[in-house]
Each structure stands twice: as structure tokens, then as C-alpha cells.
Amino acid sequence: MASRSSKQPGRPDGPTSGSGRALVPSDADRKALVGRLTATIGQMTTATLAAMDERHPWFGELDAEHRSWISVVAQGGIDGFVQWVADDPTVAFDPANVFAAAPRALTRNITLHQTVDLMRTTIAVVEEQVQLLAEEEDRPVLQTAIVHYSREVAFAAAEVYARAAEVRGAWDARMEALVVDSIVRAEADESMVSRASTLGWRSGSKVFVAVGHVHEHGEDAISALRRHASKMRLEVLIAVQGDRLVLVASGPDVSDEAASIAAVEELSDYFGPGHVVIGPLVEDLVDSPRSARAAVSGLRASDAWPEGGRALPATELLPERVLAGDGHARRALARDVFEPLGAAGGDLLETCVSFLDHGCSVEATARALFVHANTVRYRIKRIQDVTGYSPTDARDAYVLRLAITLGRLAAIAR
């Protein structure tokens, strides 16, 4: 056994301010005091648990297992006080050991506030019991000792919960990255939804995915993004994938595409330079890969249309996505633009092609089709009603021309 004069790692050679040896310099007197204090441990522990039950309603609501572990922590706190007073230089004392006996799960079921209540009550009861059980000459020293000891235990409790929060935060970040990766990789299923629910995802609203570049301030910008989204009543999942930032969002105020665009516009300052592309709204998280696929494809092709807005719906990038090789965009243009135009009848398809071929001139189109100019104007309005694109707008005309080409090619292939 090491002698009493041997030095322990991290222990000073002499007594420090506020230590047991500083309060009671004599080893013999301190040993005698510890002996008298040890004799009262059982009564102090019993009194502490009774006080917990009486003063804190949450303690009585715990199950038997958690009450038992709290009893162990309370007992450890009192034992630790006795050890602290003994201040044996050959025995290293760590106030964090008060919590060492309890399982790690306790920090997930007992809040930091409740732990502070636990330690405050334990210290208060020890102070009360000192007045009742200790020798009169021991009381002043023990009162001073309690003050110093309680401070050390408070810091130890904060450290325990800080470590638990750090571990939990790292676990949450990994889980969130896995959930977002599943969405982007189109591997979303009910198990993915279950993992998202462990992160607090509870939305019953529509979902959209927005993709942009990572802000130069990295994690600080992402933290600010989360706070701003919370103020907007948005539930979000966020992950960084290389140089791109993926945002999965949902909220009661996001009911249509215009609302999703407005939300991303408000949050766009937390993305890096360039476009932030917004995928279409889907009904729930399981369907979110469809939104993610469009957003990622749109971001990849967005540099081909630098004139587009900062927050840009993926549907406005259909031509660029087609030229970048997106088969879904190609089929969307043929299905949603060309086919309705042909099915509408009334020579709308022929009028659209002629109007584009004649430099978007109403009069030239009317002459080519042998109809009145007002008939051409009426058909142009019908084209916009059917497809959502107006041949008189340069950008829309580009979309219509490409959709007609793709639709004709698809028809040939069939």
C-alpha cells in the first residue's frame, strides 16, 4: 500500500484552499471527525430520500428502477462528502464519481434541472442533519465543508450532462445525415421515417427538399438556419454532402409551391452563393425522394441559367435538366406539356409550332394558317391555359419548343 506521503496524479502535495485538510489541518482530528460523520450516513440518506419524495412531485412519478438509481446517486453524494472531508492524499477524489454508479440512460430520463434539484435537496438535508446529529464543535467546520463540496458537485453535474449532450448531439448529427442521405439516394421507407422520428420529426404537413451550396461559415450558418426555421414553424432535417447543403422541410404554413419558395427565399442567406433549388411538394417524408431528385438535378443544371432567381423551383429548370441528361425532366416535359397540348385539339399544337416558327408574330402566323389574327391570339391564350406556358414569353417559348421536340421523339420511339 502506498504511504500517506506518496503523491497521487493530479493531487497537490499540500492542502488547497477549501479542502478537508485546509479546514481541519490535524490528521488525527480530521480522522476522528470523519468517523463521527460516517456514523450518520444511514440517517442522512434516509432523510434525503424522504425529502425528495416530499419536495419534488416528479420523484414520486418515476418508476421503481429510476427511483433506485437516484437513491444510489444520493448515497454517492453523501459518501462523497465524507470522502471529501477525509481528504486522504493517497486517495484521488473526483466529484464526478458521485454520478458514476448510475447508468448513462439516467441522463436521458432525468433532466439536468431535476439533477440540480436532487443535489440541492441532498446538500440541504445534509446541512439539516449536521445540525441535528453532529457534535456541536463539528458543526461550523462541516457547514463550511458543505459549501465547498456542493460547489464541486454542481460543476461535476454540469460536466456529466455536457458530455451526455455532446454524445447525444454527435449521435443526432450522424442519424440526421443518414436520414437525409436515404432521401437523396431514394431509399426512403418506413424505417427511415422511424429514424427521423427519433430526431423529433413529427410533421403531418407536406414536405419539400431544397438544395444549395454550403455557406462559407459552415456550422454557424447551419445553426442559424435551424433557429430561423424554428421561428417560421418549420420542421427541418439538414445535412452537408460535399459542397452542397440539403434541407428537408415541412410545416403547417407550407401548403403550396408558392409557400415553399417564399420559405426558401427567407432562409436563402444561410446557403452559399448560387441558386437554391426547390423540389416539388410531396405528401409526406416517404415521398420526399421525388422532391430531392428534382432539387439535386436542378442544382446540377442551374449554372446554365444564371438569370434565374436565387430561390428557384426545380420545375423552372426543366430545359436545363433535360440537356444535362435528366430523364425524369425529359419525360415531364413530354407528359405535362406536349401531350396536353396535342390532346386539347383546336389546332393548338399546330398554332404553337407555327407561332414559334414565325418569330412569335401573330400576323405572320395568321397568314400561314389562313386564319384571322384574333383566332391566333385566342389560341395562344388557350395554349397558356393548357400548358402553363405562354408562347409570347421568351423563356416559356424555349420550354414549349423543347417540349414539342421531346414529345415528337417520344412518339417516334413508341
Cα separation values, 189 from 111, 234, 238, 283, Å: 33, 22, 18, 14
pLDDT of amino acid 325:
94
| Region of poorest pLDDT, from 73-87, 171-185, 341-355, 397-411 | 73-87
DSSP assigned state of 277? E
C-alpha 212, offset from chain centre: 18
Q: Which three three-digit cell numbers place residue 114?
A: 431535476
Backbone Cα Rg of the chain: 35
For the full predicted model, state whether its pTM sits above 0.75. no
Indicate the burial class of 335 (C-beta count within 10 angstroms; 0-12, 13-18, 19 or more): middle
Identify the band that residue 17 occupies on the pLDDT scale cut at 50, 70 and 90.
Answer: low
d(CA 84, CA 78): 10
pLDDT band, very low/low/confident/very high, at 8 (cuts 50, 70, 90):
very low
Which residue type does 179 have? V
Quote the percentage of the chain above a pLDDT of 90.
47
Rounded distance between C-alpha atoms, residue 65 and residue 26, angstroms: 42
Summarize pLDDT for 48-76 with one digit per residue, the tens: 888 888 888 888 777 787 778 777 877 87
pLDDT of 11: 46
Where exactly are the structural domains of the chain? 20-167, 202-314, 327-413
In degrees and rounded to multiples of 5, residue 35 shows phi and psi of -60, -45
Q: Under a CB-based contact definition with an 8 Å cutoff, are residues 78 and 130 in contact?
A: no
Q: What is the DSSP letter of 3?
A: -
- Residue 256 neighbours by CB distance under 10 Å: 10
The DSSP annotation for 11-31 comes to --SSPPTTSHHHHS--HHHHH
> For residue 265, with 0-12 CB atoms within 10 Å meaning exposed, 13-18 middle and 19 or more buried, which class applies?
middle
In order, the DSSP letters of 218-261 are: THHHHHHHHHHHHHTT-EEEEEEETTEEEEEEE-TT--SHHHHH
DSSP state of 214: B
Residue 24 has pLDDT above 80, yes or no: no
pLDDT score of 386 more than 60: yes
Taking the C-alpha atoms of residue 6 and residue 377, their distance in angstroms, rounded to an integer, is 101
Burial 273-303 (b: 16+ CB within 10 A, else e): eebbbbbbbbeebeebbbbbbbbbbbbbbbe
Equal CATH topology for 20-167 and 202-314: no
Most confident of 47-61, 116-130, 139-153, 305-319: 305-319
- Cβ atoms of 270 and 225 within 8 Å: the answer is yes
Which of residues 124 and 116 earns the better pLDDT score? Answer: 124
Q: At 347, which amino acid appears? A: D
More confident residue, 337 or 29: 337
Say if residue 238's pLDDT is above 50.
yes
Residue 7 pLDDT class (50, 70, 90 cuts): very low
Phi, psi of 362 (to 5 degrees): -65, -45
- Give the 3-state DSSP-derived string for 324-386, with helices as H, strands as E and coil as C: CCCHHHHHHHHHHHHHHHHHCCCCHHHHHHHHHHCCCCHHHHHHHHCCCHHHHHHHHHHHHHH
| pLDDT tier at 205, thresholds 50, 70, 90 | confident
Query: DSSP readout, 41-68?
Result: HHHHHHHHHHHHHHH-HHHHTS-HHHHH
Buried b or exposed e, range 44-56, using 16+ CB within 10 angstroms: bbebbbebbeeeb
d(CA 103, CA 109): 11
Tell me: pLDDT of 147 over 60.
Answer: yes
State how far the Cα of 294 lies from the Cα of 149, in Å rounded to an integer. 60
Which H/E stretch holds residue 151? helix 139-184
Task: Tell me which fold the domain 327-413 belongs to.
Answer: Arc Repressor Mutant, subunit A (1.10.10)
Choose between 96 and 60: higher pLDDT. 60
pLDDT tens across 311-358, in order? 999 999 999 999 999 999 999 999 999 999 999 988 999 999 999 999
Candidates 297, 274, 172; CA nearest to 214 is 274
- What CATH number belongs to 20-167? 1.10.490
Res 292 pLDDT > 90: yes
Q: What is the mean pLDDT of the chain?
A: 84
Closest by alpha carbon to 51, among 129, 110, 108? 129
Q: Which CATH class is domain 202-314?
A: alpha beta
| Cell numbers 454508479: residue | 101
Phi and psi based region of residue 25 (left: phi greater than 0; alpha: psi -120 to 50; beta: remaining): alpha
Question: What is the Cα–Cα distance from 414 to 412, expressed in whole angstroms?
Answer: 5
